[in-house]
Amino acid sequence: MTSSLYRIAFISAIALLTACSQSKTDPNYVASASLPSYSQDNFQQYVNETKQWLSQHRVFKTDNIEKELQANAPFELIPENPNGDAVLLVHGLGDSPYSFMDVAQHLAAQGYLVRTVLLPGHGSKVGDLMLPTLEDWQNVVSHHIALLKPKANKLWLGGYSTGANLVTSEALNDDSIEGLLLFSPAFKPESSVVKWAKVASYVMTWADRDPETNYTRYNSLPMNGAAVYYDTVKVVQHDLENTTYNKPVFMMISEGDSVIDTKFPTTVFQKQFTNKNNQLIWQGERDLSIEKTTRFTMQRPDLHIVNGSHMGLLFSPNNAEYGQQAAIRICNNGQSKEQEKACELGDEVWFSSYGSREEGKTLARLTYNPYFEQSMEKLDAMMNGEW
């Protein structure tokens, strides 16, 4: 363990001691007795039983219980004009199936049968992220791949962040998978401290603990959640080592992403993903000089956008919660408490990745993709083999 992590562990331990009474009374930070089952014989049973479990174990953030259940439960979209193919989508750490709502609706409109899963420990209360293991996350993905395969001529896998790690490992070890749709793939974290999360979990419970106010995702992170995420990093890096992948891959990354090491996945795309139909969407100002890349500028003063973010790739400008007229504004963005308070009070803000700073600007998180429609056109062309 590095000296810096010792300092982190010491400071966090003190903070936890002072917050002891709160953690005992706030149900958000207390783990359930167990995780829900995910190995049902059919998908509808999985959805029904998961919603039932969530209704009993979730700490609801609003009075609209059904709306929250719909956002956090796994879902299936059946296309009106099916093309015979299917896509399984896997969300990221701390997120929910809602993160794929706009992408899923687009894919269903193109004729794909779309399903999402709920990674164990998610959707209920952040304390439940103390419970899952790597095997829980791997097993829910592999089980639902097996359930979906008989329903499709071709099966694609899609993942966001941690979910991208999980589906990439599955595809690299299963030649029947048609290809990959990867959004902010977290193949390597930006911070090297994450690799010590498993060790740190023995002496501290929380990597980060904030008020839990967002009904679609967690704001806090138990150390166990960070540790299991890093387990997916080790697995996917091992699976990628000294190999090439010749199935189609769509990858979307923001240059401003402060969560992942963006160089690692773009290098993998360039050197190890070899299909002629591959497409990389790069949101940023630097020219990557990588074939099959489409670059969109994120210096958009007309939209008050400073740069792109980790989560901003997934949502349409029209999304009710995270779009251009977002109902949810994420003000916890790595700024001063004064700026965060100004954001919460409704002051004029600009939008960026976490941790960005701009002189004279109050920054909220960018939560939508101003190029969502153009990005989905590139996705369609890749999946249809039109390059």
Q: What is the pLDDT of residue 298?
A: 97
Domains of the chain, with CATH numbers?
Answer: 3-243 (3.40.50.1820)
Q: Where are the alpha helices (DSSP H) in the chain?
A: 3-18, 20-25, 43-57, 65-72, 101-109, 134-148, 162-172, 197-200, 223-240, 263-271, 337-344, 372-383
pTM above 0.95, yes or no: no
**Could you tell me if 140 and 120 are in contact, meaning their C-beta atoms sit under 8 angstroms apart?**
yes
**Closest C-alpha to 387, from 249, 183, 266:** 249
List phi, psi (to 5°) of 231: -60, -40
Banded pLDDT at 128 (limits 50, 70, 90): very high
**Segment among 133-142, 270-279, 307-316, 357-366 with least mean pLDDT:** 357-366
Q: What is the pLDDT of residues 17-42, one digit of tens each?
A: 444 444 457 999 999 999 999 999 99
Q: What is the pLDDT of residues 179-189, one digit of tens each?
A: 999 999 999 99
Q: What is the average pLDDT score of the chain?
A: 93
- The pair of structure tokens assigned to 242 is 């000294």
Q: What is the pLDDT of residues 232-244, one digit of tens each?
A: 999 999 999 999 9
- The pair of structure tokens assigned to 218 is 């967690």
Q: What is the pLDDT of residues 89-115, one digit of tens each?
A: 999 999 999 999 999 999 999 999 999
Residue type, 357: R
pLDDT over threshold 70, residue 11:
no
Q: Which residues contact 175 (CB under 8 A, 6 or more apart)?
A: none
Q: Which residues contact 17 (CB under 8 A, 6 or more apart)?
A: none
Report how far residue 265's alpha carbon sits from residue 184's, in angstroms, rounded to the nearest whole number: 9
**Could you tell me if 246 and 274 are in contact, meaning their C-beta atoms sit under 8 angstroms apart?**
yes
Q: What is the pLDDT of residue 387?
A: 62
List phi, psi (to 5°) of 242: 55, 40
Q: What is the pLDDT of residues 280-300, one digit of tens each?
A: 999 999 999 999 999 999 999
Mean pLDDT of all residues in 272-281:
97
Q: What is the pLDDT of residues 64-79, one digit of tens each?
A: 999 999 999 999 999 9
Residue 202 CA from chain centroid, whole number: 26
